A and B are shown apart, each in its own frame.
Chain A
Amino acid sequence: MISYLTTGQVLPTGSPIHRLDPRTRLLGFLVLLIAFISTSHVGPTFLALMAVIALVALARIPPRYALKSLWLLLPWLIVIVLVQITLGVGNAPGCRSLLAWGPLQLTACTLRSALITLMRFAGLVLLIGLFTWTSPIPSLVRGLEALASPLAWTGLPAHELALVGVIAVRFIPTMALEFERLQKAQRARGADLGGGRGGFLGRVRNTLPLIVPIFVLALQRAERLAEAMEARAYSGGRGRGRYARLHLRRADWLALGLLALFVIIILWT
């Protein structure tokens, strides 16, 4: 568990996708995400799915790794699709009935709906996986901040948002280690952490020796962090310069062009 939390999920294969500017990757991710969740037609969903698969291949992600999360979800997806077909999700009057076998009433509309659901979730899982495999968190946050800073005039605190993300990610391993220490300490004090004694309310109370200290320690850490930041004269994002700068290179412009083309095609179909 700790190793999962500390090493993260990035697969550094050195592919063209990895070398893109984080802003380009972020824009691509957002465009594809919106494409998946906003369309309810077969054509664009299929196109988006093909685009994601092509990108996964381009990023040189080993196929078995890429398919692992899909494989885990596949049984559930199939169950969900079957349930949806049985419940007639997406059905409308005037749909051609294809198959009627007891509770399973398959019409053209429910089949289409089921197909879209399958493609959409498969695409989303691959897309999110691709994004986590190709984006190290620091560069991701830099990209987010860079993209959001033009919006700063509307009052959106881009720098502060990015900083919150950085702090969150940086503290996850710390809190995980804290949690393990806490578990051992409470066990040494004889706390009944796992029991189902006392019904539901008893079970909630049994989790308190773990949950309450985690929160209190977290809040205390936050206070010390704020003090430390202010002691080092942290004054917010205004006028803040940066050491590493982001540059858009040729590959980025190519990717952005392809993205624009993709958007046009999706809107057109």
Chain B
Amino acid sequence: MKPNTHQIAIAGVMSAVCVLLAVTGLGFIPFVAGISITVMHVPIIIGAIAAGPAVGTLIGIIFGVSSMILASVAPRGPGDVFFTDPWVSIVPRLFIGLAAWAVYRFTQATGRTSTVALSGLTLSAIVLAVAYSVSTAEFSLAPLVGLVTGALGLGLVAMALYRATRAHPEQLALSLAAVVGTLTNTALVLTALVARGYIPATLAQTVGVTNGPPEMVAATVITVAVIAAWRQVALRPGGASV
């Protein structure tokens, strides 16, 4: 499976963007109460969509290695220390590209109805997981809050899908790829952290539920914006740019 020149170039440059996002802090978007969500995995998703799963995996390897190195020589916070362990920093990132590409290709190939159906299923599954996690938390109103979250979330999903049926199918495919890619990142990293015994499962669940959905939203916004901008530029007729 030899990458061609085009794929090599994209893999290399997207890896550079990953490292840049990490080092300049651009990859962190402040969310709420001092928590930041990360968009540093988005180059992997974009690379996979633009040039295939091999490229996505390559970028994932380099991003994982760079996050391991940055965690030890330039740590940003308490959680960084866990990323010196390659099981946490490298292994989860290998699958982001593959997952995003697979979803993108599948939804492209099967058309709008299937994309909407798949998006609906994916988003509903995420909403229900969040609602379940909230309702099993340890405070008195938890089941009620969980129920309300689930109902509200499913309502939002229905609304989004209704609008999405009028949207461009390409945009749907990109959004779903971004969501699944981010989900892969969050789920696998948290799984690695728990499997290695660094954080307890309940904390992982909480972090996943609080950070996961905003990260998916941010990744979707960025992915759609970038791919749309890039493809327009590529299609525009122009002279040679030396």
**A interface, CB within 8 angstroms of B:** 1, 4-5, 9, 33, 37, 69, 72-73, 76-77, 79-80, 87, 89-90, 113, 117, 120-121, 124-125, 128-129, 132, 155, 157, 160-161, 163-172, 174-176, 179, 196, 200-201, 203-205, 207-208, 210-212, 214-216, 218-226, 229-230, 234, 236
Contact of B3 among A160, A201, A220 (CB under 8 A): A160
In the bound complex, residues from chain A placing their C-beta under 8 Å from that of B46 are 215, 219
Closest 7 CB pairs of A and B: A167-B12, A168-B15, A76-B78, A171-B16, A128-B72, A124-B84, A226-B9
**Contact present for A90 and B197 (CB under 8 Å):** yes
Contact of B218 among A129, A132, A196, A204 (CB under 8 A): A204
**Contact present for A211 and B16 (CB under 8 Å):** no
- Cα A57 to Cα B15 in complex, Å, equals 33
In the bound complex, residues from chain B placing their C-beta under 8 Å from that of A124 are 72, 84-85
**Contact present for A223 and B20 (CB under 8 Å):** no
**Contact present for A128 and B84 (CB under 8 Å):** yes
Among the interface residues B10, B17, B26, B73, which one has the most CB atoms of the partner chain A within 10 A? B17
**B interface, CB within 8 angstroms of A:** 1-3, 5-6, 8-17, 19-20, 23-24, 26, 29-32, 39, 43, 46, 50, 58, 62, 68-69, 71-75, 77-78, 80-81, 84-87, 197-198, 200, 214, 217-218, 221-222, 225-226, 229-230, 233-234, 241
B7 to chain A, nearest CB (A): 8
**Contact present for B200 and A87 (CB under 8 Å):** yes
- Cα A223 to Cα B10 in complex, Å, equals 7
Contact of B72 among A125, A169, A205, A207 (CB under 8 A): A125
**Contact present for A225 and B9 (CB under 8 Å):** yes
Contact of B50 among A117, A161, A165, A219 (CB under 8 A): A219
B235 to chain A, nearest CB (A): 13
**Contact present for B229 and A212 (CB under 8 Å):** yes
**Contact present for B9 and A229 (CB under 8 Å):** yes
**Contact present for B19 and A172 (CB under 8 Å):** yes
**Contact present for A220 and B217 (CB under 8 Å):** no
- Cα A132 to Cα B71 in complex, Å, equals 12
Interface of A is mostly: helix
**Contact present for B197 and A89 (CB under 8 Å):** yes
A66 to chain B, nearest CB (A): 11
In the bound complex, residues from chain B placing their C-beta under 8 Å from that of A9 are 73
* Complex: chain B residue closest to A173, CB-CB: B16
Interface of B is mostly: helix
B64 to chain A, nearest CB (A): 12
| 10 additional contacts (CB under 8 A) given A155-B1, A200-B31, A207-B222 | A69-B72, A69-B73, A164-B11, A168-B12, A171-B12, A207-B29, A212-B226, A222-B10, A223-B234, A229-B9
**Contact present for A215 and B43 (CB under 8 Å):** yes
Task: Evaluate whether A37 and B85 lie within 8 angstroms (CB atoms) in the complex, with A168-B13, A210-B26, A226-B5 already known.
Answer: yes
- Cα A37 to Cα B72 in complex, Å, equals 15
* Complex: chain A residue closest to B10, CB-CB: A222
Task: Evaluate whether A216 and B16 lie within 8 angstroms (CB atoms) in the complex, with A124-B72, A201-B217 already known.
Answer: no
**Contact present for A129 and B72 (CB under 8 Å):** yes
**Contact present for B9 and A223 (CB under 8 Å):** yes
**Contact present for B233 and A214 (CB under 8 Å):** no
Contact of A121 among B13, B84, B233 (CB under 8 A): B84
In the bound complex, residues from chain A placing their C-beta under 8 Å from that of B23 are 1, 4-5, 176
A183 to chain B, nearest CB (A): 9
In the bound complex, residues from chain B placing their C-beta under 8 Å from that of A176 are 20, 23-24
**Contact present for A157 and B1 (CB under 8 Å):** yes
Task: Evaluate whether A214 and B81 lie within 8 angstroms (CB atoms) in the complex, with A89-B197, A222-B12 already known.
Answer: no
Task: Evaluate whether A171 and B214 lie within 8 angstroms (CB atoms) in the complex, with A73-B81, A176-B24 already known.
Answer: no
**A-B pairs with beta carbons under 8 Å apart, 25 shown:** A72-B75, A76-B75, A89-B197, A120-B85, A128-B72, A132-B69, A132-B73, A157-B3, A160-B3, A164-B15, A164-B62, A165-B15, A167-B11, A168-B13, A168-B16, A169-B16, A172-B19, A204-B218, A205-B221, A214-B20, A215-B43, A219-B50, A222-B12, A226-B5, A226-B9
